[in-house]
Structure 1
Amino acid sequence: MSVAIENFVKAIYKNDKHDINDTKPGNIAKKLGISNAAATDMAKKLATKDLLYYEKYQALQLTDKGTKMALNVVRKHRLWESFLYKLFDMSLHEIHREAESLEHETSDFLADKISEYLGNPKFDPHGDPIPNAQGEITTTNTAIPLSNTQENKLYIIARLMSDDKEFFDFCAQNGLKFGNQILVSKQFAKNKMTQITINNNTILLNEDFTKIIYVDEIN
């Protein structure tokens, strides 16, 4: 399959699972940086290939075949991110950028070899789950957005759900890293802001950040 097709089904999968936006062609077009007309044309084309269901004005839905393709691309992307992070200590933005290209040039054989080399990781450096070779995600997701946490409780950063360079730069500068512990010291509900303490530093985050930083409570 072409890079364009793989990116299209991956975008539908990710919007469906993670993003606030739904999977209507206009939102997929925005995510991929293409025109609405191009997205609609691609959706119609992929419907004939049994990769998705298309109905005018409705959200796009992947078929089982389309979901399997998307998960295969996602697996390769996240394995490459893990590999580049481990070997070269690249930033979270850098590993995402490089994996965007490498995912399309990687055979299933090489993906399995990378996974084996890394010890078959369950999560990538952003905290995103890595599907196994059968296209299954075997981990249980219990994480919640930082915006939904309670005051005076400890949490572990479970996921950084973004591909924005400035966001990752901010996270790196302030120790906001997958697996690190934070204390939620104050929730400003009216102003939609959250105050946290990490590494003895106090940080005030707005909703743009607290909606895409996911955490697990420490019991």
Structure 2
Amino acid sequence: MSIAIENFVKAIYKNDKNDSNDTKPGNIAKKLGISNAAATDMAKKLATKDLLHYEKYQELKLTEKGTKMALNVVRKHRLWECLLFKMFDMSLHEIHRESELLEHQTSDFLANKISAYLGNPKFDPHGDPIPNSKGEITTNDTSVALSNTQEGKTYTISRLMSDEKEFFDFCAQNGLKYGNSIVVTKQFSKNKMTQISINNNTIVLNQDFTNIIYVNETK
């Protein structure tokens, strides 16, 4: 399959898993940086290949075949992120950028070798789950968006759900990384902002950030 097709099914899969995004062609077009017309044309083409279901004005839904393809690409991407992070200590944005290229050039054989070398990790450095070689995600996600947390409680950062360099730069500068502990000190519900304490620093985040930072309550 072409890179364009793999990116298209992956975008549908990822948008479907993100509560703040839907999978209508216009949203997929925005995510991929293509025109709405191009996204609609691609959707119609992939429907004939039994990779997705297409209905005018409706959200796109992957078929079983399409989902399998998307998970295979996602697996390779996230394994490369693990390897690049481990070997070169690259930033979260850098490993994402390079893995976007490498995922399409990686055989299943090489992906399995990378996974074995890394000890078959279940999560990448962003906290995203890594599908196994059968295309299965075997972990249970109990995390919640930071925007939905409660004041006075302690949480562990479990996922950073973004592709943007500016977001990852901000997170790196403020210690917001997978596995780190934070305390939610105030929820400004009217202004949709969250105040947290991390590493003895106080930070106020708007909903653009708190909707894509996921955490688990620390028991």
Task: State TM-score, norm by structure 1.
Answer: 0.99
Q: Extract structure 1 runs of 4+ deviating beyond 3 A.
A: none
Match of 1:16 in 2: 16
CA distance in 2, matches of 1:120, 1:5: 27
CA distance in 2, matches of 1:60, 1:208: 25
Question: C-alpha offsets along residues 79-110 of structure 1, whole Å, 9 cap, x if unaligned?
Answer: 00010001000000000000000000000000
Match of 1:103 in 2: 103
CA distance in 2, matches of 1:19, 1:168: 20
- One-letter code of the match for 1:75? R
- One-letter code of the match for 1:198? I
Question: C-alpha offsets along residues 20-79 of structure 1, whole Å, 9 cap, x if unaligned?
Answer: 221111111111011111111111110111000111111110000000000000000000
- One-letter code of the match for 2:49? K
CA distance in 2, matches of 1:192, 1:58: 30
Q: Secondary structure at the match of 2:71?
A: helix
CA distance in 1, matches of 2:143, 2:183: 15
- One-letter code of the match for 1:148? N
How much identity, in percent, do the aligned residues show? 82
Match of 1:52 in 2: 52
Task: State TM-score, norm by structure 2.
Answer: 0.99
Match of 2:33 in 1: 33
- Name the count of aligned residue pairs: 219
Match of 2:129 in 1: 129
CA distance in 2, matches of 1:187, 1:112: 43
- 1:64-75 alignment to 2 at 5 Å? 64-75=64-75
CA distance in 2, matches of 1:126, 1:14: 14
Please, what is the CA RMSD of the aligned residues?
Answer: 0.6
CA distance in 1, matches of 2:125, 2:139: 15
Match of 2:184 in 1: 184
Match of 1:6 in 2: 6
CA distance in 2, matches of 1:58, 1:203: 40
- 1:149-168 alignment to 2 at 5 Å? 149-168=149-168
- One-letter code of the match for 1:210? T
Deviation at 1:19, TM superposition (A): 4.9
Match of 1:84 in 2: 84
